[in-house]
Structure 1
Amino acid sequence: MEIIEKAPAKINLGLDVLYKRDDGYHELEMIMSSVDLADRLILSPLPTDEIIIKTNSGFLPTDRKNNIYQTIEIMRDAYQFKSGVEVQLVKNIPVAAGLGGGSSDAAATFRGLNRLFDLNATKQEMVDLSIPVGTDVPYCIHGQTSLVKGLGEIVLPLTQNMPSCWVVLVKPKLSISTPKVFAKLAVDDVYHPNIHALKNAIEAEDYHEMTQHLGNSLESYTMTKYPVVAEIKQKMLDFGADAAVMSGSGPTVLALCQKHSRALRVANSLKGFCKEVYVVRTLKS
């Protein structure tokens, strides 16, 4: 028996860093959604207690450093199943790109194990177990347009999904460490997007108003240190994107376009500039 799960990329339409907490972490408020660029996981039980991860990506560890491996250990400890698990991971989401690929893989593993072993875990139970794996995993388990708070563990699905549109994703040839970005961030000096105006626009299904409120507090640091990220964002706008914003801590920048022809124009304008360019659609829940 095998179970197949998709692990969609997440995007940040809005990311506000509110303040630095006493524990050293940062309090966040975000609007997150998902697109149809996705990894694919095939999970199957093993007669031994081994955990085996096979992947087409040479960039990923396949031991305890891997989010999938950690998730299997957490679920096996919580639900006391004895079987080992093999996971075949087809990686399509760029690594260390601000698109939550590793977190979405972990979320898909939670869902897949729940089905594979008939664990009857609720979504909230999986969310509670997922927090040590990564702060984006709770959102990825929910997987619909949501207001996300705290470190990422508070996920409040919106009454409407993000209005349907085309999304152009462009990742320059660099990887960015999220912890390093937060460590260097001067919270008092960053831009604070209006997350609640963005939420209201999405729930009103007002595409134009939504595009007016995209924003990311982390852009100031990342774009100063890596000017190519700012250059990509400006090129997207110059070639007709309705809006553009950096996703997560970067380096991927996303552009929104209502028309497919416009999305293709934006994408084609950047293909000579970056190799990793994707034209994708927003996902419904």
Structure 2
Amino acid sequence: MNQIELKALAKINLGLDVLGRRENGYHDVRMVMQSIYLYDEVKIEKTEAPGITLASNLSFLPTGEGNIAYKAAKLLMEEFHIPAGVRITLNKHIPVAAGLAGGSSNAAAVLFGMNRMFRLGLKQEELMARGVRLGADVPYCIMRGTVLAEGIGEELSVLPAMPKCTVLIAKPPVSVSTKVVYEALDAKEIAEHPDIDGIIDGLEKHSLKQVAACMGNVLEDVTIPMHPVIEQIKQEMKDAGALNAMMSGSGPTVFGLFESRAAAREAQRRIREKSLTRQVYVTSIHSVRRDQDAN
């Protein structure tokens, strides 16, 4: 195998709760994660010349040590003393710095792809153990599907599959610093915690309406006052028929869950018409078969 092409899927948080801050600065979280069918295309090719080269369709992305996909390749090449080089090409469609784990998903795809390409024989759990050294979301991006994440996000438990539905993704043209958001959260008292158990119960009952009704993200209380456009987008989605709409991760991306694809298209039209953002995509839930190993 001299090259491999992979889809690096985005994720949304159906629920995100923060339980506290550790002395090392990391936060204990409880989240329900879900992969969606919005993805970057990741191509990995063997090269005769040693080392790593990385290219992207986005000119502002770092192409060296500052890119987490580059770090993923370097981690495996150093550990397994891989003599050949690799060329990584990222064709990105997931909005950047958007709360959708695009970078983490790219890193997960590189770990998965190089494991296959160089026949390293690592099982999924072994890839995830390496992934957490790169970032807290990377292990989830290797696992994918509907998952409860605890600890700093690296303690993962498979949940019943999310009921099928249409998902609308809208990323407003604002930048959000995850570090700033968590620092602001630390400075205030959390008045209300999301109903994570209610989401899990809804998944067990295969009830899309219960999952939607119980959705919550504790970081909205911090990010929305900084960027009121997030609330405007949420309201447009709900007015167009979303069962619920919420910010993903630390933002600024908003997603809505719809029973009707036509209603999602109408919300997409309204959001564009009101110039809230041009980055708005209709997609769907991505389910994962659990009977396949990483290698």
Q: Which residue does the alignment assign to 1:214?
A: 215
CA change 1:190–1:249 in 2 (3 A) is: farther
Correspondence for 2:36: 35
- Check whether the contact 2:190–2:218 (CA below 8 A) recurs between aligned residues: no
CA contact (8 A) 1:51 1:84 kept: yes
> Does the CA contact (< 8 Å) of 1:247 and 1:253 recur in 2?
yes
Is the contact between residue 2 and residue 45 of structure 1 (CA under 8 Å) also seen in structure 2?
yes
Within a 5 Å distance, the mapping from 1:193-232 to structure 2 comes to 193-232=194-233
User: 1:168 maps to what in 2?
Assistant: 168
Structure 1: any 5+ residue segments left out of the alignment? none
Asked whether the 8 Å contact 1:93–1:101 carries over to 2, the reply is yes
Provide the rounded CA distance (Å) in 2 between the counterparts of 1:151 and 1:227.
28
Deviates more, 1:217-226 or 1:179-188: 179-188
The aligned residue for residue 139 of structure 1 is 140
Pair 1:237-2:238 in alignment: yes
| Alignment partner of 1:283 is 2:286 | yes
Q: Is the 8 A contact 1:190 1:217 kept in 2?
A: no
- CA separation in 1, counterparts of 2:7 and 2:143? 13
C-alpha deviation, 1:59, in angstroms: 2.4
Corresponding residue for residue 75 of structure 2: 74
C-alpha displacement at 1:258, in angstroms? 0.8
Taking the TM superposition and a 5 Å limit, the aligned residue runs for 1:87-102 are 87-102=88-103
- Which amino acid in the other structure matches residue 182 of structure 2? F
Per-residue displacement from partner, 1:1-21 (whole Å, max 9, x unpaired)? 210111010000100011112
* CA–CA separation in structure 2 for the residues paired with 1:123 and 1:179: 29
* Stretch moving more, 248-257 or 231-240: 231-240
Give 1:71 shift.
Answer: 0.2
1:9-88, aligned counterparts within 5 Å? 9-88=10-89
Q: 2:179 matched to 1:179?
A: yes
**Shift of residue 28 of structure 1?**
0.2
C-alpha RMSD of matched pairs (Å) = 1.1
Q: Could you list the per-position Cα deviations for residues 194-217 of structure 1 after superposition, in whole angstroms to 9, with x for gaps in the alignment? A: 111101211221111111111001
How many pairs are equivalent?
284
- In structure 2, how many angstroms separate the alpha carbons of the residues matched to 1:79 and 1:127? 16
Distance 1:19 1:77 in 2: 35
Q: Which whole-Å CA distance do the structure 1 matches of 2:258 and 2:128 have between them?
A: 32
Equivalent residues of 1:19, 1:187 under 8 A apart: no
Listed one character per residue, the Cα deviations across residues 105-148 of structure 1 (whole Å, up to 9, x for unaligned) are 00001110011101111111111111121111110000111000
Residues 23-73 of structure 1: per-residue CA shift (max 9 Å, x gap): 222110000001111000110111121211111012210010001110011
Q: Please report how far the alpha carbon of residue 187 of structure 1 lies from its aligned counterpart in structure 2 after TM superposition.
A: 5.4
- The answer to whether the 8 Å contact 1:20/1:187 transfers is no
Secondary structure in structure 1 of the residue aligned to 2:114: helix
**Preserved CA contact (<8 Å) 1:191 1:220:** no
Question: Percent same amino acid among aligned pairs?
Answer: 39
Which deviations, in whole Å up to 9, do the C-alpha atoms of 1:66-109 show, x marking residues without a partner? 01110011111222212111011110101001100000000001
Q: TM-score of the superposition, structure 2-length normalised?
A: 0.94
Given that 2:240 and 2:264 are in contact with CA atoms closer than 8 Å, whether structure 1 keeps it comes out as: no
State the secondary structure of the residue aligned to 1:189.
coil
CA distance in structure 2 between the aligned counterparts of 1:149 and 1:268, rounded to whole angstroms: 36
Contact 1:34 1:145 in 2 (8 A): yes
Structure 2 counterpart of 1:109: 110
User: One-letter code of the match for 1:227?
Assistant: P
Distance in 2 separating the partners of 1:59 and 1:134: 21
Secondary structure of 1:212's aligned partner? helix
Cα offsets for 1:200-249 (capped at 9, x unmatched): 21122111111111100100000011111111112211222110010000
